[in-house]
């Protein structure tokens, strides 16, 4: 039996969520609270597998509650939010504080949305979150990298990031550490419901020093630019430009990491692929293609990954397995070596 704790300031919403979650008989709501303080007091005794959190609450709001849970007793958290732009902005901000998944608050009777909510709970119930022991470096960064190729020097490298649950925290840590004058473009594929694409773009703009563009039209990669897909679309490199494409797989895996990284593997240039925290195995195929194409392949180490699924699946294709704080150094070294190279072998 999967145990769920609900945090929502509306007693009616708590009751509706309880009915939706318990409909199939394999999920049981073990407690509820109408504000953050009360939730923190009850969670230890309730011992839930998953916590659902509403963000707009009196006193300690949902963002503060998520930070407190993740620092004191980490558990998988689903944000259940409204549909207006402000609510979506707050929900996406919650993913940078530790929430693993976002779902829209269900209005009225919607059996399909209720089933999707239960599926999210089942998917997250077995996820282990929280810190583990730091990594012990076992090799020098760059010791297994391909030799720079002179012909690539005039092509702007693209760093492709792929992430899902738990990924925004790592993504923003790496992006914040990259230098403003990095001679590379950045492309990001982070799994999000289509409705949250614009909110994610606004969050990224508020977190980084680079220019952030959304690929409503094709964008030619230039240094210092971060490119995101529109909500509900994949991002691909094609004919020298980053373009939005109709989703190739499931909406749960959109934008798709394999699609982005595979397109970088197929294109000329000293591109790099980074697979960060996330559920499932999206990114493993794309990173394998990048390794075969002699690009840089990096996987976030278990020690700093909130969710180890995607990094673990991509591990066989990683030239580097790094904690979050070390990823930026590797990227800077790779890009600068390959944009300054004077001759080939």
pLDDT digits (tens, 9 = 90+) for 210-228: 999 999 999 999 999 999 9
Q: Is the pTM of this model over 0.75?
A: yes
The pLDDT value given to residue 136 = 58
pLDDT digits (tens, 9 = 90+) for 29-61: 999 999 999 999 999 899 999 999 999 898 899
CA distance 60 to 57: 7
Q: Does 217 participate in catalysis according to the annotation?
A: no
150-339 and 2-125 share a CATH fold: yes
Q: How confident is the model at residue 343 (pLDDT cuts 50, 70, 90)?
A: very low
Q: Does 191 participate in catalysis according to the annotation?
A: yes
pLDDT digits (tens, 9 = 90+) for 303-320: 999 999 999 999 999 999
> Looking at 114, 120, 164, 317, which residue is catalytic?
164
User: What are the residue ranges spanned by the domains of the chain?
Assistant: 2-125, 150-339
The pLDDT value given to residue 131 = 63
pLDDT higher than 50, residue 154? yes
Pairing state of beta strands 234-238 and 158-163? unpaired
> Looking at 8, 34, 114, 191, which residue is catalytic?
191
Q: Does 164 participate in catalysis according to the annotation?
A: yes
pLDDT higher than 60, residue 68? yes
Q: Give me the CATH topology for the region 2-125.
A: Rossmann fold (3.40.50)
Compute the average pLDDT of residues 252-278.
97
Higher local confidence (pLDDT), 202 or 149 = 202
**CB contact set of 335 (below 8 Å; sequence gap of 6+):** 157, 159, 182, 183, 184, 270, 272
The secondary structure of 210-231 as a DSSP string is SEEEE-SS-B---TTEEEEPPT
Question: Alpha carbon of 287 to those of 101, 123, 251, 261: distances in Å?
Answer: 24, 24, 21, 6
Higher local confidence (pLDDT), 327 or 85 = 327
**What does the mean pLDDT of the chain come to?**
93
- Among the listed ranges 75-84, 128-137, 185-194, 292-301, which one has the minimum average pLDDT value? 128-137
> Looking at 8, 49, 54, 282, which residue is catalytic?
282
The pLDDT value given to residue 140 = 82
Q: Where are the alpha helices (DSSP H) in 126-189?
A: 167-177
Angle in degrees, CA 150, 151, 155, rounded to 5? 110
Compute the average pLDDT of residues 79-96.
90
174 contacts 327 by C-beta, under 8 angstroms: yes
The pLDDT value given to residue 105 = 85
Compute the average pLDDT of residues 78-83.
88
pLDDT higher than 60, residue 341? no
Considering only CA atoms, give the Rg of the chain: 21
The pLDDT value given to residue 49 = 97
The class level of CATH for 150-339 reads alpha beta
% of the chain beyond a pLDDT of 70: 95
């Amino acid at each position: 039996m999967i145990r769920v704790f609900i945090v929502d300031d509306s007693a009616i919403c708590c009751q509706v969520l309880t009915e939706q979650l318990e409909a199939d008989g394999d999920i049981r709501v073990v407690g509820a609270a109408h504000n953050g303080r009360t939730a923190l007091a009850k969670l230890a005794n309730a011992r839930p597998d998953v916590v659902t959190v509403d963000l707009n609450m009196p006193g300690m709001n949902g963002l503060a509650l998520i930070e407190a849970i993740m620092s004191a007793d980490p558990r998988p958290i689903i944000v259940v939010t409204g549909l207006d732009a402000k609510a979506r902005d707050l929900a996406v901000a919650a993913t940078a504080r530790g929430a693993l998944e976002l779902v829209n608050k269900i209005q009225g009777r919607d059996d399909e949305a209720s089933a999707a909510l239960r599926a999210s709970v089942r998917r997250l119930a077995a996820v282990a979150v929280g810190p583990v022991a730091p990594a012990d470096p076992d090799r020098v960064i760059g010791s297994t990298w391909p030799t720079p190729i002179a012909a690539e020097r005039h092509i702007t490298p693209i760093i492709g990031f792929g992430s899902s649950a738990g990924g925004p925290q790592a993504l923003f840590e790496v992006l914040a550490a990259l230098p403003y004058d990095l001679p590379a473009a950045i492309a990001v594929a982070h799994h999000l419901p289509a409705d949250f694409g614009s909110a994610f773009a606004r969050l990224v703009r508020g977190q980084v020093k680079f220019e952030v563009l959304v690929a409503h039209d094709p964008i030619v990669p230039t240094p210092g630019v971060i490119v995101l897909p529109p909500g509900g679309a994949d991002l691909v490199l094609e004919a020298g430009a980053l373009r939005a494409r109709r989703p190739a797989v499931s909406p749960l895996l959109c934008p798709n990491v394999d699609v982005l990284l595979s397109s970088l593997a197929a294109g000329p240039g000293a591109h790099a692929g980074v697979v960060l925290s996330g559920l499932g195995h999206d990114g493993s195929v794309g990173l394998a293609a990048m390794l075969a194409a002699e690009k840089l392949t990096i996987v976030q180490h278990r020690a700093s990954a909130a969710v180890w699924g995607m990094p673990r699946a991509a591990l066989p294709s990683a030239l580097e397995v790094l904690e979050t704080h070390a990823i930026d150094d590797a990227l800077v070294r790779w890009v600068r070596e390959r944009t300054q190279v004077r001759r080939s072998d």
